[in-house]
A = this chain, B = another copy of it.
Amino acid sequence: MPPLYLPEDRYLDPANRDVALRLYHQVRDLPLICPHGHVDPLLFADPDYRFGSPSELFITPDHYVFRMLRSQGIALEELGIPRVDGGPVESDPRVIWQRFADHYHLFRGTPTGGWLDYSFHFVFGVEEKLTGASAQAIYDQIAACLGRPEFRPRALYEQFNVEVLTTTDAATDPLLQHEAIRRSGWSGRILPTFRPDTVVNLDTPGWRGHVGHLAEQSGIDITSYDRYLQALEQRRGFFGQMGATATDHAALTAYTEPLGQREAESLFQSALRGEASAGDARRFTGHMLIEMARMSVEDGLVMQLHVGSLRNHDPALQAGFGTDKGADIPVASEWTRNLRPLLTSFGSHPRFSLILFTLDESGYGREMAPLAGYYPAVKLGPPWWFFDSVNGMARYFDLVMETAGIYNTVGFNDDTRAFTSIPARHDVWRRTAVNWIAGLHKRGFIDMQDAEDMAQEMAVGLARRAYRFAT
């Protein structure tokens, strides 16, 4: 069997290797700061939570993995992805694992391939390369690990040296799991993040139902726009009491527009009657982004904005398997004009912090870095999603840092549902960052002291401060 290939100096340019390794050894074992992600808090609320089979851990929940297999003609049913209609899908995890292993070459040179290999080896002790031939033996080895107590999520949290991990939670979420974690006395730090998209984006399917849920959770009867704002403020306050330091907002575009009180009320009432048009939704959502900035100024929650994903590109996938299944496709994004109204109001406010995430790299140097290099409130989030990769990070460093400097960026976000992939993802960031910093030193931009400071900042300092985590 060929061995897994994970050389110690991976992802480093040969020309930078000596300095990069020196910096890497300084940051490799620093705690993991996880300020944005999608891990289910249930993993930590239940001290005896057990991951399922290797296939349930690595394949069926991970759209990075199954979208790639699907793109080469393997039906999602063959991979055990549950159908919305409950129709039959493959249920034998060993069969699913074998299919995955038989096609593992598809992940050559991809970030997914790198994360998987890292997890196989450093989390589960696998030594062989995954192939059709080694598939069942590796399955056995991972399955055996998953049965042991040291592979429960809380144990892994400690083994991974996580300092803080945030989840992403609907505005209407009662945060019962977070409550259970706090009450349990466990020392891990799992914090919620306030994500109000379903009640703020008028074009969300079932928006009125979500607003009803918001009314319930907040205890405020939402009959007017004012009460709607109060309900949102109430929930933000509750999230803050539960430890949240940030909000998160997803939008197709960064469009912002301040509406007058009367117009906001009128659009809101239309929406309550189910009569809002697409144009209304765009304007109301654009207005609510400004309102959210205003609330952030008041309650101190850091505001995150993820822009540019066209969700559910394939209606057949959505009908068959639901949302978040790999068919969210980026579109071009504009920031300079779209964010101007919001920034005119709050961009220079000392209490406000706005972290931007994009799927359109053409905006990095053209719009985002110039905005971050001027407005005190604006900072740039790390490469997101398809761009959370060695090349994606290298381009981000190349395109952003000369204009914005590293201090207008916020370090790394792992942004993952896959808890066991978290160390792998941070390792990619830390390696790619020290490689970039080493290149700056090797080419005479910065001295070694600056290089060492920057490596620390990019590994932990920037994220801790940007997300206002007291340490």
A111 to B440, CA, bound (A): 12
Q: Smallest CB–CB gap between A374 and chain B, Å?
A: 5
- List B contacts of A398 (CB < 8 A): 391, 395
Please report the C-alpha to C-alpha distance between residue A331 and residue B375 in the assembled complex, in whole angstroms. 17
Find out whether the CB atom of A389 lies under 8 angstroms from the CB atom of B406.
no
Q: How many identical chains are in the complex?
A: 3
Which of A14, A361, A387, A402 has the most chain B CB atoms closer than 10 A to its own CB? A402
Closest to A3 in B: B447
Q: Which chain B residue has the least Cβ–Cβ distance from A401? A: B109
Q: Does A61 contact B (CB under 8 A)?
A: no
Give residues 347-379 of A contacting B (CB, 8 Å): 347-348, 350, 359-362, 365-367, 369-376, 378
CB of A273 within 8 Å of the partner chain: no
Let me know if B110 and A403 touch, CB within 8 A: yes
Q: Does A449 contact B (CB under 8 A)?
A: yes
Looking at A89-97, A236-244, A264-272, A333-341, the stretch in contact with chain B turns out to be: A333-341
Those of A315-343 within 8 Å (CB) of chain B = 315-316, 326-327, 329-332, 334, 336-337, 340, 343
Taken together as a complex, chains A and B put the C-alpha atoms of A408 and B408 apart, in Å, by 36
- Asked if A329 contacts B367 (CB within 8 A), the reply is yes
Closest to A453 in B: B105
Given the interface pairs A2-B447, A2-B449, A344-B315, the reply to whether A109 lies near B440 with Cβ below 8 Å is yes
CB of A279 closer than 8 Å to a CB of B: no
Chain A positions 57 through 99: 1 when the CB is less than 8 Å from some CB of chain B, otherwise 0: 0000000000110111100000000000000000000000000
Q: Is there contact, CB below 8 Å, between B314 and A375?
A: yes
Q: Which of B336, B360, B390 interacts with A331 by CB under 8 Å? A: B336
Contact A386-B365, Cβ < 8 Å, known A314-B347, A350-B73: yes
User: In the complex, are the beta carbons of A389 and B402 less than 8 A apart?
Assistant: yes
Q: Which B-chain residue is minimally distant from A444 (CB atoms)? A: B10
Say yes or no: is A36 at the interface (Cβ < 8 Å to chain B).
no
Q: How far is the CA of A67 from the CA of B447 in the complex (A)?
A: 24
Pairs across A and B, CB under 8 Å, 20 listed:
A2-B447, A106-B405, A106-B407, A109-B401, A109-B402, A109-B440, A109-B454, A111-B402, A113-B445, A313-B343, A313-B374, A314-B348, A314-B374, A331-B336, A331-B366, A361-B366, A365-B392, A386-B403, A390-B402, A391-B402
Chain A interfacial positions (CB closer than 8 Å to B): 2, 5-7, 9-15, 67-68, 70-73, 105-111, 113-114, 129, 310, 313-316, 326-327, 329-332, 334, 336-337, 340, 343-344, 347-348, 350, 359-362, 365-367, 369-376, 378, 386-387, 389-392, 395, 398-399, 401-408, 440, 442-447, 449-450, 453-454
